[in-house]
Amino acid sequence: MSFPIVRHRRLRRTAGLRSLVRENMLSADDFIYPLFVTHGKEVKEEIPSMPGVYHLSMDLLEEEIREIVALGIKSVLLFGVPDHKDAHGSSAYDPNGIVQEAIRAVKGWAPELVVVADTCLCQFTDHGHCGIVHQDEATGVAVVDNDRSLELLVRTAVSQAEAGADVIAPSNMMDGFVHAIRAGLDEAGYSDIAIMSYSVKYASAFYGPFRDAAHSAPQFGDRKTYQMDPSNSREALREAESDVAEGADMLMVKPALSYLDIVKTLKEQFDLPVVAYNVSAEYSMVKAAAANGWVDERAIVLEKLTSMKRAGADIIITYHAKDAVRWLKGE
């Protein structure tokens, strides 16, 4: 049967019908909201390249957490901006580091909130790379030492679990990082703490504003030797397969918007929850266009987030989360 018997517009005729047959719907339960915590007092500094996103000191963090909980957002992702950096990123695994301090505070204010801890070294190292750097004897080129870096990432993850993190989110893209962190958490008695693996993290140009936010730009070279080539898709399957075998509980694709094909592939190939990270430039481009009156911010953000859900994302990390929840409520 076809036209005129079949008329697809019948189910689009009214708002009620469209709502009744809608295949993918967003809710506050889908979102994780990233936060950037820093040292000091009364610090609420807007990140110039990310309007509406702030560096927050601990004394102002509670008000932010109360707002997030009141909106119905169930989870936050914590990034720390330390007051000290060194070659080994020691502030990352300091039991009294900024992320650990923030985790303890957030769990005290809102025990029901799911706290995800970013587990990386880049914003804590003075060179800005995600691991320990050494000079290659043959070439004299500075390279990231994969296996030595794993030891520090494990220490970071364990310190975050000790502070009360519900989920460890390793974003470093070292080979074997899930295995190392899973073993380290289990040995320390944290076998019930989940790992949200940055399984498929591309060496993307969409991270620029985040590097302003986290003060994590590499001081030399780039991260292309450990983050993925944007041209590759089959490699994403290999990365995800490794993480599944090593004990990951969730698989992330980062960035989201230009990699929805990868989100869909992971959803089809694996039975773990899939996370899409709606990254900083994806956020900032919309903000800039909206500020110039070029786009309808509300409409374009909700369409963009829906596209991630439609592609297969079970969870969306997004800086739009607070606005999106208000819009979904009709505010």
Which residues carry out catalysis? 201, 254
Single-letter code of the amino acid located at 226: Y
d(CA 242, CA 228) in angstroms, rounded, equals 14
- Cis ω on the peptide bond leading into residue 4 (within 30° of 0)? yes
Residue 149 tokens, joined: 């870096």
Task: Look at residue 123 and give its three-state secondary structure.
Answer: coil
Q: What is the DSSP string of 186-221?
A: HHTT-TTSEEEEEEEEB--GGGHHHHHHHT---SSS
Residue 85 tokens, joined: 């950096």
- For 38, which DSSP code? E
- Cis ω on the peptide bond leading into residue 255 (within 30° of 0)? yes
d(CA 326, CA 70) in angstroms, rounded, equals 11
Closest C-alpha to 35, from 154, 203, 162, 169:
169
Q: How many CB atoms lie within 10 A of CB 246?
A: 17
Closest C-alpha to 122, from 77, 89, 170:
89
H-helix or E-strand spanning residue 18: helix 15-20
Closest C-alpha to 31, from 282, 238, 294, 318:
318
